[in-house]
Chains A and B, each alone.
Chain A
Amino acid sequence: KQEVTQIPAALSVPEGENLVLNCSFTDSAIYNLQWFRQDPGKGLTSLLLIQSSQREQTSGRLNASLDKSSGRSTLYIAASQPGDSATYLCAVGESGGSNYKLTFGKGTLLTVNP
């Protein structure tokens, strides 16, 4: 059974700092990996999707890497801003029989202080 772990569980940084969020998974036979953002009491916003054949994806100040063989992914946020404060979720996608299944980590709660 796939297990996804995110470290740290919470992170507080001053505005402008670069930061890294970590995600690890136990079964490397994944189809892809996604990073999501979740604001309090809200749904999910997809940030980056990395296919299993890819090493990284970039969108603006965000860069996500994937090392499938070691079961690790990182989300790098450059020049953090208070508006980046949210919970960041990592999810691995697997081909579960006839359906595609996502397994989520518990998330990292990020607070960026002005």
Chain B
Amino acid sequence: GAVVSQHPSWVICKSGTSVKIECRSLDFQATTMFWYRQFPKQSLMLMATSNEGSKATYEQGVEKDKFLINHASLTLSTLTVTSAHPEDSSFYICSASEYRFEQYFGPGTRLTVT
């Protein structure tokens, strides 16, 4: 149980374009979803937290107009990187929780912006 999927697993896009990453909870209802970013040899950094049906809460320093998060249903959250630039290249991981003190992680999405 508690399986989280992400799609795509990797994506390459050109600078200036937008890319959408999906995070799905497959066997539970995720009232809260989290988006993390991980640069090489760095720790996972929380970008934002989203509760179903509400606006996402962004961490300090994360541009909410650049990283658009939608959590429209209890099983799906999307992260859209708008006007992507090479410095946005990173490993993006989502996690989902049904109950408060738990998080189940997706397999991650490798984004490369050329």
Real binding pair: yes
The tally of CB-CB contacts under 8 A between chains A and B is 51
Secondary structure type dominating chain A contacts: strand
Residues of A within 8 Å of B49, CB to CB, are: 99, 101
- Give the docked Cα–Cα distance between A34 and B110 (Å): 24
- Give the docked Cα–Cα distance between A36 and B34 (Å): 17
Chain A interface residue bracket vs B:
20 to 34
Closest to B5 in A: A43
Q: Are B46 and A106 in contact (CB under 8 A)?
A: no
- Give the docked Cα–Cα distance between A32 and B99 (Å): 15
Q: Are A102 and B32 in contact (CB under 8 A)?
A: no
- Give the docked Cα–Cα distance between A91 and B43 (Å): 10
A83 at the interface (CB under 8 A from B): no
Chain B interface residue bracket vs A:
20 to 34
Q: Are B107 and A43 in contact (CB under 8 A)?
A: yes
CB < 8 Å: which of A41, A100, A105, A106 contacts B103? A100
| Interchain nearest-CB distance for B26 vs A (Å) | 14
Residues of B within 8 Å of A36, CB to CB, are: 105
Residues of A within 8 Å of B42, CB to CB, are: 106
Q: Which A positions have Cβ atoms within 8 angstroms of B?
A: 4, 31-32, 36, 41-44, 46, 89, 91, 93, 95, 99-107
Q: Which B positions have Cβ atoms within 8 angstroms of A?
A: 6, 32, 34, 41-46, 49, 51, 57, 91, 93, 95, 97, 100-103, 105-108, 110
| Nearest 6 A/B pairs, CB to CB | A43-B107, A104-B43, A44-B105, A106-B43, A104-B44, A43-B108
Other CB < 8 Å A-B pairs besides A31-B101, A100-B100, 11 of them?
Answer: A43-B6, A43-B108, A44-B44, A46-B105, A99-B49, A99-B100, A101-B46, A101-B49, A102-B34, A102-B46, A102-B95
15 contacts between A and B (CB under 8 A): A32-B101, A41-B91, A41-B110, A42-B107, A43-B108, A46-B105, A93-B101, A95-B101, A99-B32, A100-B100, A102-B95, A102-B103, A103-B46, A104-B44, A106-B41
